[in-house]
Structure formats: structure tokens, C-alpha cells
Structure 1
Amino acid sequence: MGMHIDLIGLVVADMGRALAFYRDLGLAIPADADREPHVEVVLPGGLRLAWDRADVVRGFDPGWTPPSGGARMGLALRCDGPAEVDEEYARMVGLGHRSRLEPWDAFWGQRYAQLQDPDGNPVDLFSPLD
């Protein structure tokens, strides 16, 4: 099979607010992208991450509605070490972004924390403990 995952797309209510969150996480997103209906960046390794405004999605899928009751998908960012999980979490919360779970040592051997992007998607920060 010749398929591979090439793009992960997120639907957003407010493009500028969503992109500000992901810029704060370190993604290189041009400042003038805030007014665009569709934005994408190429991540290290070639995977693309994209954002589409809800009105754009409804333009080709009139029956689309945002999920309710919690996210069905999340993103996870690997940090260079356990201390970086704590530092990035504290930095993001200090910038006013929402926390879901404070850093903890998970039973599966990782330092873990969870933020929430402006549209309610969980964004995990993690690193192996050793």
C-alpha cells in the first residue's frame, strides 16, 4: 500500500487565536496567516499540520458540526527531557493558555503534561523519564 499520513488538520473557530497558541509552542507560522481561511506548515520529517476555519469546512461539508463532549483526537509533542516538559508547560500556562493536566510522572515511564488549544483539542507534552 502506497498511502502514508501526510497531513493532520484541525478545524478552528478563530484562526488568529489558534495560530497564536501553536506559535507559542514554537511552530513557525507566518504572522499574516491569521486572516487566512486555511493555513498549513510543514513539520520536521515532512508531515504537515493544517488549520481550517469552521466556515470553510461547512462550505464543502454543510452537515459538519463540531464534536461535543470532549476531543476525539489530540497532538503530542516530545520534549528533550523531563525538565523541558515542566518548563514548557509552565511557560504556556504563564502565557495564559489552558491547562488540562499538570506535569506528572506517568506509570508508563514518561513525564507528561496536557494543555488545551483554543478549540479544546488536547496537546500533550511528554518525555521519557530516563
Structure 2
Amino acid sequence: MAFGPNPPSLQPHLCVKGGIEAIAFYEKAFGAECTFKQMAEDGARVMHANLAVFGGEIMLHDDFPEFGGDVRPPHGHGGASVALNVNLPSPADVDAAIARAEAAGGTVFMPAGDVFWGARYGRLTDPFGHVWAFNAPLAKA
């Protein structure tokens, strides 16, 4: 695995069905950069990938049910069990991030709005079943 010089202490590792397509979606929707990719022997599935995104890093791999994996993709298993929360600098960034991800194929289920904790916040599901939440503090009066 290739990590940056200072890997984050907590790194989400996403399991997807369609790793190549997922990498392309995250690049288009979130401006991610694939910093490492190792394909499986079948040449069709991603064994492991690292993506630099939103100032952090996520890992990603295709589903490998033949290995009896304990991490499976959200689709077909009742949905995601966590949301990936992205803190952004400004409320306008929340709207822009959600619009960009929706244009790339994400499904918005909580449009960006001002919420009671003093933030601009919205959520969407990516085409691979993972939930992304975007948050930015509202300007103080």
C-alpha cells in the first residue's frame, strides 16, 4: 500500500461493487486523486486503492465474496452503516459539493440547508451505496 508521508490516524476503507467505476465517480464528484491502485488477478476488480480526497485519504476495494470477507458493499445489505462526514470551509462549499456530486450521479436525500447546530448541512448517497454528509459552519452575526 502506498500512503502519503503522514497517513491519517483514521482512514475509511470502502468496499464497493465496481471499483474502477467508483474511483472514476469519486474523481469526478469529489475531485479525488487516486494515489495507488492494485488490480486483482482477474484484471477486472480493484484489490486495493488509495484516494486523496477532501484533505484526507480513503481506501477502497471491490467486493470479494469468494474470500469470505467481513466487509461488504452497502447495496444488497440494507444500506450503509456509516456516513462519511466532510467538513468544508463555507456554506457555499456545501451547496457546491452536493451539486457536483449529484451531477456526477449521486442521489441527494437531504438537500443542503441551514440546521439547528449552526451549520449548512446536506447528505447524499453515491452510486455505490455510501452516504456522504457535507457540513460547514454558518457565519456568525
Do residues 100 (structure 1) and 102 (structure 2) align? Answer: no
| Closer, same or farther: CA 89–17 of 1 in aligned 2, 3 Å | same
| Closer, same or farther: CA 128–53 of 1 in aligned 2, 3 Å | same
2:3 corresponding residue in structure 1: none
Unaligned runs of 5+ in 2: 1-7
Contact 1:112 1:125 in 2 (8 A): yes
1:71-90 alignment runs, 5 A limit = 71-90=80-99
Q: Secondary structure at the match of 1:22?
A: helix
2:4 corresponding residue in structure 1: none
State how far apart, in whole Å, the 2-side matches of 1:39 and 1:86 are.
28
Do residues 23 (structure 1) and 27 (structure 2) align? Answer: yes
2:124 corresponding residue in structure 1: 115
TM-score, normalised to structure 2's length?
A: 0.71
Tell me by how many angstroms 1:97 deviates. Answer: 2.1
State how far apart, in whole Å, the 1-side matches of 2:104 and 2:69 are.
35
1:85-119 deviation digits (Å, cap 9, x = unpaired): 11221222123322121111111111011121222
Structure holding more strand per residue? 2
TM-score, normalised to structure 1's length?
A: 0.76
Unaligned runs of 5+ in 1: none
Give the percent of matched residue pairs that are identical in Structure 1 and Structure 2. Answer: 27
Matched residues, number: 124
Tell me by how many angstroms 1:76 deviates. Answer: 1.3
Tell me by how many angstroms 1:65 deviates. Answer: 5.1
